[in-house]
Amino acid sequence: MASVLVVDDKELMRESMELALRRAGHDVAAADGGRAALEALGGRRFDVVVSDLKMGAMDGVALLEKVKARWPDVEVVLITAFGTIDVAVRAMKTGAFDFLQKPFKADELTMVVERAAERRQLRSENEALRTQAGGVHPAELVGQSEPIGRVRRQIERVARSTAIVLIRGESGSGKEVVARLIHALSERARRPMLCLNCAALSASLLESELFGHERGAFTGAERQRKGRFELADGGTLLLDEVSEIEPRLQAKLLRVLEEQQFERVGGSETLHVDVRVLATSNRALEQAVAEGEFREDLYYRLNVVPIHIAPLRERREDIPLLVDHFLGRYGRREGGTVRFSADCVRLLCEYPWPGNVRELEHLVERACVMGLGPVVSAGEIRPWLTAPARRDGPQFAAGTPLEVVEREMIRATLKKMGGHRARTAEALGISVRALGMKIKAYDLVDTGRSEPVFADRQKLPVAAQ
């Protein structure tokens, strides 16, 4: 629920917007002009101001300027008529969140208000995180869904410890963002954080990058070189895609994690370091262990604190907020003002996003670079959405662990049965009680909920339902 102030000098329009927002569950107050709006803002807290652009003594742009000067965290949405779009676009450059052109539907109004309120809440949370981090600006973790909220709570609990954290999730889901936020909120925030992509280097180069080498250790080693562990002493080292380290190096890595000591390649001197290790993986490490590709003891050493990032298709309510975030970043860089229409955002919420947040970011960047706008339609974006066709139900390769198969079959059957446990249990040939135990074991249900949580059952923005 957002606290919204509706400002319009036309009574019928003002009351219509007020009614639509109340029906959507928001706390709404109204003002018949700019001066009345400023008085209301001075008396209580509002998240969003929705104001008509053309009013009497004080128009919407003047009200915007005064609101941003006195209450910079309040989001302002302007209502425009035909012929005033240019004015609205200029207003956005001076701080307006968005604008709606008359005529518009109730769900369009509700959607833009909810997006504005979400951005205000996100800014408040990020400001709190910056305070906790002692002024260090952390990486941004955008989203208001329960999966992202759970990740934020985990970050806050583990950041100030020295425990190893294994961050898991599909490619492009934001694993490095989580790692950087953990470092920013840790006691090591003012020490270096180094990153190494373990999948990008050959085994010999990776060993040298991790541990360094002595002069003459191998052909081309003309001088001594420090490795990432040595350079990150006192700080944090992120091992990206740690599952791609070959078995021989895994043993050496395990020793560093256990004893915080190692030797450079070609050297005999034992070096001691104080490094916190964060690791990421988009592979099922359990399966890699079962196939003999990853050491079991290293897996358990890395998996001290596991954090799982849900794919974007399982937290679709974050998509409008991510769109706004990336529009703010790339729109400013390209020197233009772009926004996505309600139909466009609805289309994005329905797309499966196989490339996750990274794919969405690149799409928004493309829209800004290509000069689309000021309002991007669904028709302009649709040709860019080229997710490979998915077959109905989960598909498994030979050798997939039975635990993985069972979990995904339960998830798919629950989805097909609309979350109805009795019908799901009957289809799977097990009891409802056994199904409930497996749902809990596989973390397919939120604590406090009585039914599974799925991407297509999560709450979407009003205009996307």
- The string of pLDDT tens digits covering residues 414-426 is 877 777 788 888 7
Indicate the burial class of 210 (C-beta count within 10 angstroms; 0-12, 13-18, 19 or more).
buried
Provide the whole-model pTM. 0.62
User: Averaged over 437-458, what is the pLDDT?
Assistant: 51
| DSSP SS3 for 50 | strand
Report the alpha-carbon distance of residue 68 to residue 66 in Å, rounded: 6
- Lowest mean pLDDT, pick from 202-211, 337-346, 418-427: 418-427
Does residue 163 register a pLDDT over 60? yes
Q: What sign has the CA pseudo-torsion 39, 41, 44, 46?
A: positive
Q: pLDDT tens for residues 8-67?
A: 988 899 999 999 999 988 999 999 988 999 999 988 889 999 999 888 778 888 899 889
Q: How many CB atoms lie within 10 A of CB 132?
A: 16
Do 138 and 181 touch, CB atoms closer than 8 A? yes
Report DSSP letters for 272-313, one per residue.
E---EEEEEESS-HHHHHHTTSS-HHHHHHHTTEEEEPPPGG
Does residue 201 register a pLDDT over 90? no
Q: What sign has the CA pseudo-torsion 75, 39, 25, 450?
A: positive
Identify the residue with better confidence: 217 or 162: 162
User: Averaged over 231-235, what is the pLDDT?
Assistant: 91
Report the alpha-carbon distance of residue 208 to residue 214 in Å, rounded: 9
Indicate the burial class of 83 (C-beta count within 10 angstroms; 0-12, 13-18, 19 or more).
exposed
What beta strand segments (E) does 226-367 contain? 236-240, 261-263, 270-272, 276-281, 305-308, 339-340
Give the per-residue pLDDT at 449: 36
Give the per-residue pLDDT at 328: 83
DSSP 459: P
Does residue 299 register a pLDDT over 90? yes
Does residue 138 register a pLDDT over 60? no
User: Which residue, 296, 297, 298, 344, is CA-closest to 319?
Assistant: 344
Identify the residue with better confidence: 131 or 260: 260
**Domains detected in the chain:** 3-124 (3.40.50.2300), 135-308 (3.40.50.300), 317-384 (1.10.8.60), 402-464 (1.10.10.60)
